[in-house]
Homo-oligomer: A and B are copies of this chain.
Amino acid sequence: MLDYKIIEVKQSIFEDNDADAKKLRAEIKEQNTFLVNLMSAPGSGKTSTLCQTIARLNGDMSIGVMEADIDSDVDAATITKAGAKAIQIHTGGMCHLDADMTRQGLRELGTEELDLVFLENVGNLVCPAEFDTGASKNVMILSVPEGDDKPLKYPLMFSVCDVVLINKCDTLPVFSDFSKTLVEERIHKLNPSALVIFISAKTGEGMDQWIDWLRGEVANWRQHE
C-alpha cells in the first residue's frame, strides 16, 4: 500500500489567478501554515534538497510536501521515506501549477497540523514563474552543472524568487567554468533582494544557512498573524 495519495488536479476555472493566489495566501496564513513554492529545471536536485531539509527540521516542525509531476510518483515515494507527509499531484500534462491547483493539493494533504508545506513545482524554468501559486515565499534551485548563464536566459524565474539555492556546489571542481561571483551578480541585477545560498544537498554544504532562513521565516509568519 502506498503511504501517499495521488491526486489529479484540474486546471483553474478562475480567470484572475493573481487575485485567487492572494486569497489563498490569506487562507493559509489563517491556518498558520507557511507554504514554500520550490521551482527549478528538471534534475537540479529539488527532491534531494527537500529530503535533507526534512531530515534537519524533523522533530522541530511538522512538514508536508506536495510533489507536482506530470505523470510519475517517484518523488512522493522518496519524500515519504524521508519522513514528511506527502501527496503526489498529477497535473495531467500541465507545465505549471496555479493557485487553485495548489488549493486542491493543500485540501488533500490536510494542513491542520503542519507548520511548513513545500510545493515541489513541475521541473521547468519558464511556465511556473508566470503563475503565483499563493505560496508564502518562492524559492528556486539552480544547479552548478546547468551553468552560470541561466539568469540571462530565464530572467522571470530569477526575478520572482525570494531565495535562489545554488545546488551541487560539490561539483564546482568539475564544472570549473561556473563562476559563483558571476551568477550572484546576474541574479542580483534582476532581483537585488534575492537571497543567494550556495549549497550541496549531497555534502550538506550551506544547508545551515538555508535551514536558518526557513526557521526565521516560519517564526515571522506566525508572529505577524
Contacts and interface: CB of A to CB of B under 8 A. Distances in A.
Interface string A131-173: 0000000000001011101101111100000000000100100
B156 A72 contact: no
A145 B126 contact: no
A116 B124 CA distance: 29
Classify the secondary structure of A's interface with B.
loop
Contacts of A143: 43, 145
A122 interface: yes
A127 B42 CA distance: 13
Interface string A111-136: 00000000000111111001000000
A174 interface: yes
A150 B168 CA distance: 18
A195 B95 CA distance: 26
Contact of A145 (B74, B145, B149, B154): B145
A156 B69 contact: no
Each complex incorporates copies of this chain amounting to: 2
B93 A150 contact: no
A123 B171 contact: no
Contacts of A149: 72, 74
Contacts of A126: 70, 93, 95, 122-124, 127
A123 B43 CA distance: 13
Contacts of A69: 153
Interface residues of A, number: 32
Contacts of A26: none
A41 interface: yes
A71 interface: yes
Interface of A: 41-44, 69-72, 74, 93, 95, 122-127, 130, 143, 145-147, 149-150, 152-156, 168, 171, 174
23 contacts: A41-B41, A41-B42, A41-B43, A42-B146, A42-B154, A43-B145, A43-B147, A43-B150, A69-B153, A70-B155, A71-B153, A72-B152, A74-B152, A93-B130, A93-B156, A95-B124, A123-B125, A123-B126, A124-B124, A124-B126, A145-B145, A171-B171, A171-B174
